[in-house]
Chain A
Amino acid sequence: MNERLSSQRFLALPFGLWAVLFIVLPLFFVLWNGLKDVDGGFTLVHLQTVLQWEYLKALGLSVELALISTFICLVLAYPLCLILRERKESRGLLVFLLFLLPLWMNSLLTTMAWQTILEKHGLINMFLQLLGLPEVHIINTPLAIIIGMVYNFLPYMVLPLYVAINRIDNSIIEAARDLGANPYQTFRRVLLPLSMPGIVSGSTMVFIPALTTFVISALLGGNKVLLVGNIIEQEFTAAYDWQLGSALSMVLMVFIILNILLEAFTDNGETARQTKKGRA
């Protein structure tokens, strides 16, 4: 008994080591850098700097674009997963894998590809010119960033959503119809609540990388649209202000932790919450 316990501990050692080296220590350095003054004492000065207008604006814009991208991903992925659910055979799987394809491509490359599509003399404007239509200005706007985010992060929405929706047995849908629900009511009262875990984890998996990205915003936003990820990057690589960069990271982490808490809460409390809502 004891022997087995100790061998289990021994096997867990690499993972413990991993957690300490790559999760706990970096986190500690961020906190340490963000909260220390020049003499190494405790200070909130860097956090106060974050409260300046330009940083708050970048943070607000980041949250806004991340939310919009998440929403678009959800709206695109949900009908797709419903369609894939209908045809569970191999053909459905093939389409499913097709939508996961961007995952296997380097996101830097795909984003640069979008750059050439969206830029001033890019593919879209060339096409519009051929048709004699006026040019559109997409590159270096928030719209370009949203397009890049949706393209890169859609698979993260499709994956958990597909799993959640596919798990719903067809007889559950038939039971709803049998009890008098029309197709919309079946969707609203049965399909949607039962797929909620997939919606929440998909949204989390899109929202967090969208909130923290700096590659997509750098390539598609130029220097015109600054997201919090870009500011943090510049603080570390250009301005060498590690303290401010860490403080900004800490603020960002609050959002991420909130998001993860929301997911954990939904996993446990989803049914209870639905219960209350149904009764009202």
Chain B
Amino acid sequence: MEKELLRLERVNKSYDGRQILEDLDLTIHENEFVTLLGPSGCGKTTILRMIGGFETPDSGKIWFDGQDITNLQPEKRQVNTVFQKYSLFSHMDVAENIAFGLKLKGKSASYIRDKIKYALKLVNLDGYEHARVTQMSGGQQQRIAIARAIVNEPKVLLLDEPLSALDLKLRQNMQRELVKIKRELGITFVFVTHDQEEALSMSDTVVVMNQGWIQQIGTPENVYNEPENAFVADFIGDSNIIDGIMVRDKLVHLLGKDIPCINTGFGENVPVDVQIRPEDIQICAPEEGQFTGRIKQVVFKGTVYDITIEAGGFEWLVQTITGHEQGKEVGIKLAASNIQIMAKPESEDEEAVSDE
């Protein structure tokens, strides 16, 4: 892992008596693409605004490169922000928007010219120097906002749901481009989103948040395949989450049957949440399955079919590439390695809430 760059230490923040963040600790490294992921109101934007200098924690400290920046003015921080609403200066053209920060720093005209050219090339908008920002599309405006931020050579680029206003196709394009830009610049990106797909496809590290608490920090594969609790499992991707009892290591009691799994260390006869991804469930002939049931519904989603199967008193969501007949009697088979066991939440705060 690279060197530590940014650290939030026991940060608390509340608005109007409502606690947004509680004793939050978070470390961000050099050249890391970190995504803060969570439902609205989980505190992810507040963290970003604290790093940017637009909010001050009620208590706690923010360290940047070994320096305490908790109360530093935004204009004195080596970070730049790409805002959700682009927030371009409508009274300036593209070049002037990009040059705004550089002019304030008193850079020479030729340096500024070169930087503008470089930044526009980076965001695929070369030749747009003198375009009016108000006449550009949302995607173009967002790229200008990115260019305007990165010419200042920040050590950290903060992105506050920058793609949420774009349509799907454009959003996917921009996701790829952002990753490309990140690679080219080699700086830290802190990206805020409520879109789990965005978080998984772009980040090095995903920080899953809910109600001011960090639920899990890990690589995208990590949080998807090994969610630490039911909230993470439910928020990221589709999941079947079932109450179970860990009989002993590598054996879980699920819907009346003992099913082998690979998890250990939970103890014996401990209630747990059991998570199984819909794409990990195999549909087979009734006699071959661990559970048997009937197909209730089949929905074609494009790449996959969403199949609802009622078996063992639970409605399973199963995703398959091939279609199945509604009403058919089928069996369900679970591979031990595809069963994820999670400890039950200790407090109500960590209770799973459904995806938005």
A residues sitting closer than 8 Å to B (CB atoms) are: 169, 171-172, 174-182, 185, 189-190, 193-194, 196, 270-271, 274-275, 278-279
Complex Cα–Cα for A159 and B53 (A): 33
Cβ contacts under 8 Å, A196 to chain B: 91
- What residue in chain B is nearest A275 (Cβ atoms)? B93
8 A/B residue pairs, CB under 8 Å, sorted by A: A169-B87, A178-B80, A179-B152, A180-B105, A190-B89, A193-B91, A194-B91, A279-B96
Complex Cα–Cα for A20 and B89 (A): 43
Establish whether residues B75 and A271, one from each chain, have CB atoms under 8 Å apart when the complex forms: no
A174-B74, A177-B74 given as contacts; is B104 within 8 A of A185 (CB)?
yes
> How many residues of B are in contact with the other chain, CB < 8 A?
28
Establish whether residues A179 and B91, one from each chain, have CB atoms under 8 Å apart when the complex forms: no
9 tightest CB-CB pairs across the interface, nearest first?
A179-B101, A175-B87, A171-B87, A177-B74, A180-B104, A193-B91, A178-B81, A180-B75, A274-B91
Cβ contacts under 8 Å, B54 to chain A: 174, 177
Question: What's the nearest-Cβ distance from chain A to residue B185, in Å?
Answer: 17
Complex Cα–Cα for A11 and B93 (A): 42
Question: What's the nearest-Cβ distance from chain B to residue A266, in Å?
Answer: 12
A174-B81, A182-B73, A194-B90 given as contacts; is B104 within 8 A of A275 (CB)?
no
Establish whether residues B83 and A274, one from each chain, have CB atoms under 8 Å apart when the complex forms: no
Establish whether residues A177 and B92, one from each chain, have CB atoms under 8 Å apart when the complex forms: no
Complex Cα–Cα for A173 and B208 (A): 30
- B85: CB under 8 A from chain A? yes
1/0 per position for B220-248, CB-CB distance to A under 8 A? 00000000000000000000000000000
Establish whether residues B152 and A180, one from each chain, have CB atoms under 8 Å apart when the complex forms: yes
Establish whether residues B83 and A174, one from each chain, have CB atoms under 8 Å apart when the complex forms: yes
- B148: CB under 8 A from chain A? yes
Complex Cα–Cα for A166 and B74 (A): 22
- What residue in chain B is nearest A171 (Cβ atoms)? B87
Number of A-B contacts (CB under 8 A): 73
Establish whether residues B85 and A171, one from each chain, have CB atoms under 8 Å apart when the complex forms: yes
Complex Cα–Cα for A278 and B103 (A): 10
Known: A174-B54, A174-B81. 15 other contacts (CB 8 A): A169-B85, A169-B87, A171-B87, A174-B83, A175-B87, A178-B53, A179-B80, A179-B104, A179-B152, A180-B75, A180-B105, A194-B91, A274-B91, A275-B91, A275-B92
- What residue in chain A is nearest B109 (Cβ atoms)? A279
Question: What's the nearest-Cβ distance from chain A to residue B3, in Å?
Answer: 24
Cβ contacts under 8 Å, B96 to chain A: 275, 278-279
Cβ contacts under 8 Å, A279 to chain B: 96
Establish whether residues A175 and B81, one from each chain, have CB atoms under 8 Å apart when the complex forms: yes
Question: What's the nearest-Cβ distance from chain A to residue B101, in Å?
Answer: 4
Complex Cα–Cα for A153 and B90 (A): 30
B residues sitting closer than 8 Å to A (CB atoms) are: 52-54, 73-75, 79-81, 83-85, 87-93, 96, 100-101, 104-105, 132, 148-149, 152
Establish whether residues A274 and B92, one from each chain, have CB atoms under 8 Å apart when the complex forms: yes
- What residue in chain A is nearest B130 (Cβ atoms)? A275
Cβ contacts under 8 Å, B89 to chain A: 172, 175-176, 190, 194
Establish whether residues B73 and A177, one from each chain, have CB atoms under 8 Å apart when the complex forms: yes
A contact face: mostly helix, strand, loop, or mixed = helix
Complex Cα–Cα for A172 and B74 (A): 14
Cβ contacts under 8 Å, B91 to chain A: 193-194, 196, 270-271, 274-275
Cβ contacts under 8 Å, A176 to chain B: 89, 100
Complex Cα–Cα for A270 and B83 (A): 25
Cβ contacts under 8 Å, B88 to chain A: 175
Cβ contacts under 8 Å, A171 to chain B: 83-85, 87
Establish whether residues B87 and A181, one from each chain, have CB atoms under 8 Å apart when the complex forms: no
Cβ contacts under 8 Å, A177 to chain B: 53-54, 73-75
Instruction: Specify which of B54, B90, B91, B96 lies most central, judged by the most chain A CB atoms within 10 Å of its CB.
Output: B91
Cβ contacts under 8 Å, A278 to chain B: 92, 96
- What residue in chain B is nearest A196 (Cβ atoms)? B91
Complex Cα–Cα for A179 and B52 (A): 10
Cβ contacts under 8 Å, A270 to chain B: 91
Establish whether residues B101 and A180, one from each chain, have CB atoms under 8 Å apart when the complex forms: yes
Contact of B83 among A175, A193, A194, A275 (CB under 8 A): A175
Question: What's the nearest-Cβ distance from chain B to residue A241, in Å?
Answer: 49
Cβ contacts under 8 Å, A275 to chain B: 91-93, 96
Cβ contacts under 8 Å, B105 to chain A: 180
Cβ contacts under 8 Å, A193 to chain B: 91
Establish whether residues A178 and B74, one from each chain, have CB atoms under 8 Å apart when the complex forms: yes
- What residue in chain A is nearest B93 (Cβ atoms)? A275
Cβ contacts under 8 Å, B100 to chain A: 176, 179, 181, 189
- What residue in chain B is nearest A178 (Cβ atoms)? B81
Complex Cα–Cα for A193 and B75 (A): 20
Contact of B52 among A172, A178, A189, A271 (CB under 8 A): A178
Cβ contacts under 8 Å, A178 to chain B: 52-53, 74-75, 79-81, 149
Cβ contacts under 8 Å, B132 to chain A: 271
Complex Cα–Cα for A176 and B132 (A): 18
Cβ contacts under 8 Å, B85 to chain A: 169, 171
Cβ contacts under 8 Å, A271 to chain B: 90-91, 132
Establish whether residues B75 and A181, one from each chain, have CB atoms under 8 Å apart when the complex forms: yes
Question: What's the nearest-Cβ distance from chain A to residue B2, in Å?
Answer: 24
Cβ contacts under 8 Å, B73 to chain A: 177, 182
Cβ contacts under 8 Å, B101 to chain A: 179-180
